[in-house]
Amino acid sequence: MFLPLLRLFQCFLLFGFCSSSSISYENLNIAIVSGYGKMPRNVQIELQRSLIWFKNAISVRKFEKSITSTELLNVYPKFSWINIQTAEKAQDLHVNSLEFAKLLEMSNFVILINRDIQKCQIDSELLANAKPLTPEGLNRPKFAIMNVCQNFQFSNFFDLFRHEILHALGFGLFIPFEDSIPNRYYNWWTPKGTQNVSQIFMDFSKRAKRVVSSHFNCSTIFGVEADGFKKNHLNEYIFGNELMTPNLESGQNYFSEISAAILEETYFGEKPWYKVNRKYTIEESQKYWYGKNFGCNFIKFSCWKFLETAGNKLTFPFCSINNERYCLITPTYKIRLSLKNCQQTFNHQTQITENGLKAFPGATFSNSIHRFCPIDKNFINIPKNHRIELC
Ligand SMILES: [Zn+2]
């Protein structure tokens, strides 16, 4: 019997319907169970909001049998009193109670809260991480573990939980049976010389590759660039404020058609494990603006090549005088984009990017996350509900 393989993980979704075949799908009803009690009220509210979002946005393959308390105790044996959060409510219940059994029965995916203090201490910027437990045979997972660090100062827990729960479903964490797209090696061009760098590509991304081609307006891409050899995330430099990049912005992170396609392709066997309700996600996908129409020079070569050949198009958040014709528009203010936030002072001498690029001596632009490119440093703090348009 084939057993799906899980990657090592490291990281900083009311529309039920039936297919025409015998396989049926239902709304994703997640139960979060915790032996550690509730999280702070504002965080717990965002967790519940994310569960409501998943219930609306994602459908899952139906299991013949519902999840039982006995199954749960096999994988989460330490606790007798448990806080259980669903899209509807949160309750403290005994694991042997009838009410607990009923709530589990109504759920089709269970996430077990864990506290990995050591992992949180090693990486002080880590907010949470999650992974599915290895599923049986070719079935979808039904249990996952989520570690939430006691670091509750972050301002966007809704997107954090969406991000982690997508990992819990398997995003970026399964290894396909068939061969992956080979790495690409190419010359990264800058005005001060070139360096040989690598491109590593996401698995389960045949359809996502077409979406990326269309978004960036480049028909000759090799694949969907990943954030390093573990292939857990979309590449931060290429995909910016997409929800499944490794660094979440405090403003909006978009669940675009790129991640939706990867999630739907992540499965073993004959039929997909997950289906995304486009009626629910299309608006967010359309709002995802980072990299739109940036072209092949950006996605295949370098930010410098892109900026040199951009003509008069918008290059934000990468810095060019073209951006000064555009305005950032929020519900409360409108501000013209400028170059004043582009020059930065970092000591790059020891930094190396995820694709193997080293900073040239004297470089004064962004850090390794954005490949030392000239990028507006306020980009990560852009508020929610914004748009960028000609002034
Ligand atoms: Zn992650």
Portion of the chain with pLDDT greater than 70, in percent = 92
At 379, the pLDDT band (50, 70, 90 cuts) reads: confident
Cβ neighbours for 302, distance < 8 A, ≥ 6 positions apart: 188, 189, 190, 371, 373
pLDDT tens-digit map of 73-127? 999 999 999 999 999 999 999 999 999 999 999 999 999 999 999 999 998 889 9
In a domain, 271, yes or no: no
pLDDT at 350: 67
Question: Does 133 map to a domain?
Answer: yes
Q: Is residue 268 part of a domain?
A: no
Are the CB atoms for 388 and 326 separated by under 8 Å? yes
Task: Evaluate whether residue 222 is within a structural domain.
Answer: no
Among 13-22, 70-79, 137-146, 258-267, the minimum mean pLDDT is found in 13-22
* pLDDT reading at 5 higher than 70: no
Containing structural domain, residue 351: 309-390
pLDDT the model gives residue 17? 36
Q: Mean pLDDT, to the nearest integer, of 187-206?
A: 93
**Mean pLDDT of the 325-343 span:** 89
Q: What is the pLDDT of residue 349?
A: 62
Contact 193, 81 (CB under 8 A): no
Tell me the CA–centroid distance for residue 356 and ligand 1, in Å. Answer: 21
Residue 235 Cα to ligand 1 middle (Å) = 11
The β-bridge partners of 369 are none
Q: Is residue 188 part of a domain?
A: no
The chain-wide mean pLDDT, for the chain, equals: 90
**Segment 16-39 mean pLDDT:** 79
Q: Is the pLDDT of residue 296 over 60?
A: yes
Task: Tell the burial category of 139 from Cβ atoms under 10 Å away from its Cβ (0-12, 13-18, 19+).
Answer: middle
Sheet holding 334-336, edge to edge: 334-336, 326-329, 387-390
Compute the distance from residue 324 Cα to the ligand 1 centre, in Å: 33
Q: 126 alpha carbon to ligand 1 midpoint, in Å? A: 10
Say what the pLDDT of residue 14 is: 29
121 located within any domain: yes
If you average pLDDT over residues 260-279, what whole number do you get?
A: 96
Residue located via tokens 């810095």: 319
* pLDDT band (50, 70, 90) for residue 6: low
Task: Tell me the pLDDT tens digit for each residue of 129-177.
Answer: 999 999 999 999 999 999 999 888 888 999 999 999 999 999 999 999 9
Q: If you average pLDDT over residues 200-218, what whole number do you get?
A: 97
Residue 331 near residue 387 (C-beta atoms within 8 A): no
- How far from the centroid of its chain's Cα atoms is residue 246's Cα? 7
Picking from 186, 375, 203, the residue whose alpha carbon sits closest to that of residue 299 is: 186
370 assigned to a ligand binding site:
no
More confident residue, 280 or 131: 131
SS (H, E, C) the chain: CCCCEECCCCCCCCCCCECCCCCEEEECCEEEEECCCCCCHHHHHHHHHHHHHHHHHEEEECCCCCCCHHHHHHHCCCCCEEEEECCCCEEEEECCCHHHHHHHHCCCEEEEEECCHHHHHHCCCCCEEEEECCCCCCCCCCEEEEEECCCCCCCCHHHHHHHHHHHHHCCCCEECCCCCCCCEEEEEEECCEEEEEEECECCCCHHHHHHHHHHHCCCCCCCCEECCCCCCCECHHHHCCECCCCCCCCCCCECCHHHHHHHHHCCCCCCCCEEECHHHHHHHHHHCCCCCCCCHHHHHHCHHHHHHCCCCCCCCCECCHHHHHEEEECCCCEEECCCCCCCCCCCCCCCECCCCCECCCCCCCCCHHHCCCCECCCHHHCCCCCEEEEC
386 is in an annotated binding site: no
> What average pLDDT does this structure show over 355-374?
83
User: Which domain-ending residue is among 129, 158, 175?
Assistant: 175
Is residue 324 annotated as a catalytic residue, yes or no? no
Q: With a cut of 60, say whether residue 15 has pLDDT above it.
A: no
Is 241 part of any domain? no
Task: Find, among 188, 36, 190, the residue nearest to 116 by Cα.
Answer: 36
Q: How much of the chain exceeds pLDDT 90, in percent?
A: 73
User: Which one has a higher pLDDT value, 57 or 154?
Assistant: 57
Consult the annotation and say whether 163 binds a ligand: yes
Please, which residues have CB less than 5 A from ligand 1, an ion?
A: 11
Per-residue pLDDT at 275 exceeds 80: yes
CATH code for the domain in which residue 50 is found: 3.10.170
Residue 223's contacts (CB-CB under 8 Å, 6 or more residues apart) are 181, 199, 201, 202, 205, 209
Identify the active-site residue in 164, 249, 257, 265. Answer: 164
Ligand 1 centre to CA of 176 (Å) is 19
Res. 20: pLDDT tops 80: no
Looking at 175, 203, 224, the residue that finishes a domain is 175
- Tally of domains in the chain: 2
Q: Which of 148, 175, 202 is the last residue of a domain?
A: 175
Residues contacting 386, CB < 8 A, separation 6+: 251, 252, 328, 329, 330
Centre a 10 Å sphere on the Cβ of residue 167 and count the other Cβ atoms it contains: 22
Give 148 Cα–ligand 1 centroid separation in angstroms: 12
Q: What band does 4 get if pLDDT is binned at 50, 70 and 90?
A: low
What's the confidence (pLDDT) of residue 7? 65
Q: Which of 38, 35, 10, 42 is nearest to 153 (CA)?
A: 42
Query: Going by C-beta distance under 8 Å and a sequence separation of 6 or more, which residues neighbour residue 264?
Result: 207, 272, 274, 275, 276
pLDDT at 13: 31
Residues listed for the chain: 391
- Ligand 1 mean position, distance from CA 332 (Å): 32
Whether 299 and 291 have beta carbons less than 8 Å apart is answered as yes
Q: Which two tokens stand for residue 104?
A: 């589990």
Domain for residue 341, yes or no? yes
